[in-house]
């Protein structure tokens, strides 16, 4: 009998505990309702990509020396470099260069290793197409520069979280000229320069 009563008591205790946890959960969801939405209304508002954003790769045809380093460092040997050896000048001449962005994983190895810096990352990420073969960009397509979000009159550019002033979490309606938390790279450089000169003296 006592054992049975203990069982009933334990069961009741567990039920109360479960009810308490559900109450706690409800208070959490209720609290979330008073927070500001984090939505970026995408086609009308866009987040400004950070300076290290790895978007579609840009290619400068005239700088390329057809060394094929990009092909070798690529995880899947994706860039297609079409060149001929010019016997008169004893140099390679580049005919075509293409990367299939439907296959590219945007790891940035090619950009990193390109000896002449003819490859670079852009901030373009809207590459939707009706056919996957349209994503195979040739050197002309890769030579185009993307439209900047900040210059598009149709778009309200919004800063990313890390680029907001200290303590601000909402990118909407920032006052003009508000700065991100911390110093800019060039400011750090300017501060460290005099110190370095002094050290040299």
Partner 1 sequence: MGQGIDLQRSFVELLTQLGLPSGAARAIWLPLPMTLILIAATVSIFVTVWLERKISAAAQQRIGPEYAGPLGTLQAAADGIKLLFKEDIVPSKADPILFTLGPALVVIPVFLSYLIVPFGQNMVITDIGVGIFLWIALSSITPIGLLMSGYSSNNKYSLLGGLRAAAQSISYEIPLALSVLAIVMMSNSLSTIDIVEQQAQYGILGWNVWRQPVGFLIFWVAALAECERLPFDLPEAEEELVAGYQTEYTGMKFGLFYVGSYVNLVLSALIFSVLYLGGWEFPVSVSWLASLLNVSETTPWLQVITAAIGIMMTVIKAYLLVFLAVLLRWTVPRVRIDQLLDLGWKFLLPVSLVNLLLTAALKITFPVAFGG
Biggest CA-to-CA distance, the chain: 106
Q: Which residue has the tokens 């979330």?
A: 32
- Which residue, 36 or 198, is less far from partner 1 as judged by CB? 36
- Which residue, 38 or 154, is less far from partner 1 as judged by CB? 38
Query: Which uninterrupted H or E stretch holds 113?
Result: helix 109-113
- Give min distance, CB of 4 to partner 1, in A: 13
- Which residue, 23 or 115, is less far from partner 1 as judged by CB? 23
- Which residue, 21 or 61, is less far from partner 1 as judged by CB? 21
- Give min distance, CB of 46 to partner 1, in A: 16
Give the closest residue to 169 by CA, choosing from 51, 40, 39, 38: 38
DSSP 74: S
- Give min distance, CB of 26 to partner 1, in A: 5
By CB under 8 A, name the binding residues for partner 1: 15, 22, 25-26, 28-30, 32-33, 35-39, 41
15 vs 24: CA distance, rounded Å: 14
Contact 137, 122 (CB under 8 A): no
- Which residue, 37 or 153, is less far from partner 1 as judged by CB? 37
Contact 111, 94 (CB under 8 A): no
Contact 155, 40 (CB under 8 A): no
- Give min distance, CB of 7 to partner 1, in A: 13
46 vs 49: CA distance, rounded Å: 9
- Which residue, 26 or 188, is less far from partner 1 as judged by CB? 26
- Give min distance, CB of 39 to partner 1, in A: 5
Distances (CA, A) of 59 to 62, 64, 85, 96, 193: 9, 8, 21, 11, 34
- Give min distance, CB of 32 to partner 1, in A: 5
């Amino acid at each position: 009998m006592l054992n049975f009563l203990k069982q009933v008591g334990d069961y009741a205790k567990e039920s109360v505990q479960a009810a308490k946890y559900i109450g706690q959960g409800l208070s959490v969801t209720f609290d979330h309702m008073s927070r500001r939405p984090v939505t970026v209304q995408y086609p009308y508002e866009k987040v400004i990509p950070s300076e290290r954003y790895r978007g579609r790769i840009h290619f400068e045809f005239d700088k390329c020396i057809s060394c094929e380093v990009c092909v070798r460092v690529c995880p899947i040997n994706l860039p297609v470099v079409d060149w001929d050896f010019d016997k008169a000048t004893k140099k390679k001449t580049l005919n075509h260069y293409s990367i299939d962005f439907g296959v590219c994983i945007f790891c940035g190895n090619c950009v990193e290793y390109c000896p002449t810096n003819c490859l670079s990352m852009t901030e373009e990420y809207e590459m939707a197409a009706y056919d996957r073969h349209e994503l195979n960009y040739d050197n002309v397509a890769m030579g185009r520069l993307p439209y900047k979000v900040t210059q598009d009159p149709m778009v309200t550019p919004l800063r990313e979280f890390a680029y907001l002033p200290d303590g601000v979490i909402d990118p909407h309606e920032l006052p003009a000229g508000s700065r991100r938390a911390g110093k800019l790279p060039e400011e750090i450089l300017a501060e460290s320069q005099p110190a370095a000169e002094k050290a040299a003296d």
